[in-house]
Amino acid sequence: EVQLLESGGGLEQPGGSLRLSCAVSGFTFSNYAMAWVRQSPGRGLEWVSGVSAGGGSTYYADSVKGRFTISRDNARNTLYLQMNSLRAEDTAVYYCVKDRFLYGTLISYFDYWGQGTRVTVSS
């Protein structure tokens, strides 16, 4: 059974940092691109960032470029999102998601989603 378990969310002040983690199981993690997608009442569903299966290629939405860093540890079956210089508009539920296709591109569809971790940026 495929499982994606996010952690690391919480309340942070504007300008602060958080690191999200996603522990995965049930599939060969190193064979699939992964991504983070966030959801908020004001912005709806928004793709944030993606990383290739090997970790060598990364993409970011313009709204987070230069502030967020995606990475993965294939030995630990874990995906990360380092979020710096947080803003109020980063407030959302953050989902860890798996690419639908084996060795797929970073711009894809997502066939498994975690339950999400809530990030709130407020003073």
One-letter amino acid of 68: F
Using DSSP, state whether 88 is helix, strand or coil: helix
Identify residues 15-44 at the interface with another protein (CB under 8 A).
Answer: 44
| Shortest distance in whole angstroms from residue 79 CB to another protein | 15
Question: Binding of another protein at residue 9 (CB under 8 A)?
Answer: no
Stretch that binds another protein, among 13-21, 25-33, 68-76, 112-120 (CB under 8 A): 112-120
Q: How far is the first Cα of the chain from the last one, in angstroms, to the nearest whole number? A: 40
Q: Which of 71, 82, 110, 120 binds another protein (CB under 8 A)?
A: 110
Can you read off the two tokens belonging to residue 19?
A: 């690191």
How far apart CA 92 and CA 30 sit, in angstroms, is: 27
Identify residues 54-83 at the interface with another protein (CB under 8 A).
Answer: 61
